[in-house]
């Protein structure tokens, strides 16, 4: 997440306002690290920014368009993804220790 962007607890009211807007914008969630919504001139998408557990490279995953899935569905998908990545990171650490 860029350092100069403020985070807020995303709510459906903010999403509706963002969808009605014509300008480009991003709102980052204060509750779930990396979860955000990006509004472009054409559409808005829920996204998740994260570091890969083994390579540590930055990635951004689009979870879905804001006009097709709800904020709750997107937040749940982001939480599942974060959990899966944490599990992969833990498995990688265990494999590394066992293979030494």
Tokens encoding 77: 């998908």
Distance CA 88, CA 29 (A): 23
Q: For the chain, what are the domain ranges?
A: 7-98
Which helix (H) or strand (E) segment holds residue 17: the answer is: helix 12-20
CA distance to 17, 34, 53, 90, per residue, from 97 (Å)? 49, 28, 15, 11
Distance CA 82, CA 86 (A): 6
85: DSSP letter: H
Domain at 7-98, CATH homologous superfamily: Integrase, DNA-binding domain (3.30.160.390)
Q: Which burial class, exposed, middle or buried, applies to 3 when counting CB atoms under 10 A from its CB (0-12, 13-18, 19+)?
A: exposed
Q: Which residues pair with 60 in a beta bridge?
A: 49
Predicted confidence pLDDT, tens digits, the chain (100 residues):
455 566 778 888 888 888 888 888 899 999 998 999 999 988 999 999 988 777 778 889 999 999 999 999 999 999 999 888 878 766 555 444 445 5
């Amino acid at each position: 997440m860029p350092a100069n962007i403020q985070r807020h607890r995303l709510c459906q009211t903010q999403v509706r306002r963002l969808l009605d807007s014509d300008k480009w914008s991003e709102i980052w969630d204060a509750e779930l690290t990396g979860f955000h919504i990006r509004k472009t001139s054409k559409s808005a998408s829920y996204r998740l920014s994260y570091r890969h557990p083994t390579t540590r490279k930055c990635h951004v995953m689009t979870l879905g368009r804001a006009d097709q899935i709800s904020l709750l569905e997107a937040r749940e998908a982001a939480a599942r993804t974060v959990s899966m990545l944490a599990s992969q990171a833990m498995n990688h650490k265990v494999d590394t220790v066992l293979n030494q």
